Amino acid sequence: MTDNSLRTDLFSAYRMGAFDLPNRIVMAPVTRSRMGEDGVPDELHATYYAQRASAGLLISEATNISAQGRGYAMTPGIWTPEQVAGWKKVTDAVHAAGGRIVCQLWHVGRFSHVDLQPDGALPVAPSAIKAQGTTYTANGVVEVSMPRALETSEIPGIIEQYKHAAECAKRAGFDGVEVHSANSYLLDQFLRDSTNQRTDQYGGSIENRTRLTLEVTEAVVAIWGSDRVGIRLSPVTPDAGNTPPDSNVMVTYGYLIKRLNAFHLAYLHIVEGATATSRDVPEGIDLDALRALFHGPYIGNNGYDLDLAVSRRAQGKVDAVAFGRPFIANPDLVERLRFGFELVVAPREAYYGGGAEGYTDWPTTNAGGEVNV
63-64/57-59 β-pairing: unpaired
Inter-residue contact 106 to 61 (CB < 8 Å) = no
- Active site residue ranges: 185
Inter-residue contact 166 to 224 (CB < 8 Å) = yes
What is the pTM assigned to this prediction?
0.96
- For the purposes of burial, counting CB atoms within 10 Å of the CB of 194, is it exposed (0-12), middle (13-18) or buried (19 or more)? middle
Task: Find the distance separating the first CA and the last CA of the chain, reported in whole Å.
Answer: 20
Q: What is the pLDDT along the chain (373 residues), one digit of tens a residue?
A: 789 998 999 999 999 999 999 999 999 999 999 999 999 999 999 999 999 999 999 999 999 999 999 999 999 999 999 999 999 999 999 999 999 999 999 999 999 999 999 999 999 999 999 999 999 998 899 999 999 999 999 999 999 999 999 999 999 999 999 999 999 999 999 999 999 999 999 999 999 999 999 999 999 999 999 999 999 999 998 765 667 889 999 999 999 999 999 999 999 999 998 877 888 888 899 999 999 999 999 999 999 999 999 999 999 999 999 999 999 999 999 999 999 999 999 999 999 999 999 999 999 987 555 556 5
- Which domains occur in the chain, in start order? 4-372 (3.20.20.70)
In the Cβ-directed half-sphere of 351, how many Cα atoms lie within 13 Å? Answer: 11
User: How far apart are the C-alpha atoms of 96 and 115, rounded to whole Å?
Assistant: 38
Alpha helices in the chain (DSSP H): 43-51, 81-96, 155-171, 186-191, 206-209, 211-224, 239-242, 249-260, 287-292, 306-314, 326-329, 333-339
User: How far apart are the C-alpha atoms of 56 and 25, rounded to whole Å?
Assistant: 5
